[in-house]
Amino acid sequence: MSKQPMSSKKTLNSQAKVISPESDLAQIRAKISTLPKPLVFTNGCFDILHRGHATYLEQARNIGASLVVGVNTDNSVKRQDKGSDRPINVLDDRMAVLASLECVDAVVSFDEDTPLNIIETILPDHLVKGGDWKVADIVGGDEVIANGGQVHSLDFKFERSTTSLIEKIRG
């Protein structure tokens, strides 16, 4: 009987990147503290992931050694006046898709209108938003800067919009 060679195939488990929505801030801090530094944080709804999102997330991750993505809960999305039928994809699905991206190291949700509590909890080295945000208007920017971090507004490489995609599909 011959020995079978050991497989060098890496087993993927993207769901290990998802921090449970039931986690409290101390659990979130503990999980994120294990990630390599410098730590980058960004946030959004990420309702229907498109090329603009993917490119933006890669750009954000390239600023540091790890990327944490904050995701609005379904209720938080509904309060943003994106439409009565939004989000299209439920929170668990949006988090799972984000976690499957190689550039994303952790995904955490927030139910508030902004991710300020998470930002204050993890104090990332870099806080990032898309080019439609002025640095001075990015929530949590003052806290990150006060802790020695930097705030970035990244230019869009691909102008895409989830709302426009939904309108196109319905048209």
Tokens of 80: 């943003």
Averaged pLDDT of the chain: 91
Residue 8 lies in a domain: no
In-domain check, residue 147 = yes
Q: What is the CATH number of the domain that holds 25?
A: 3.40.50.620
CB atoms near residue 133 (< 10 Å): 16
Could you list the beta-strand ranges (E) of 1-65: 39-44
Angle formed at CA 98 by CA 92 and CA 104, multiple of 5 degrees: 135
88: in domain: yes
**Selected residue with higher pLDDT from 159 and 94:** 94
With respect to residue 4, please indicate whether it lies within any of the assigned structural domains: no
pLDDT band at 3 (very low <50, low <70, confident <90, very high): low
Does residue 2 carry a pLDDT above 60? no
Q: How many domains in the chain? A: 1
How far apart, in Å, do the first and last CA atoms of the chain sit? 63
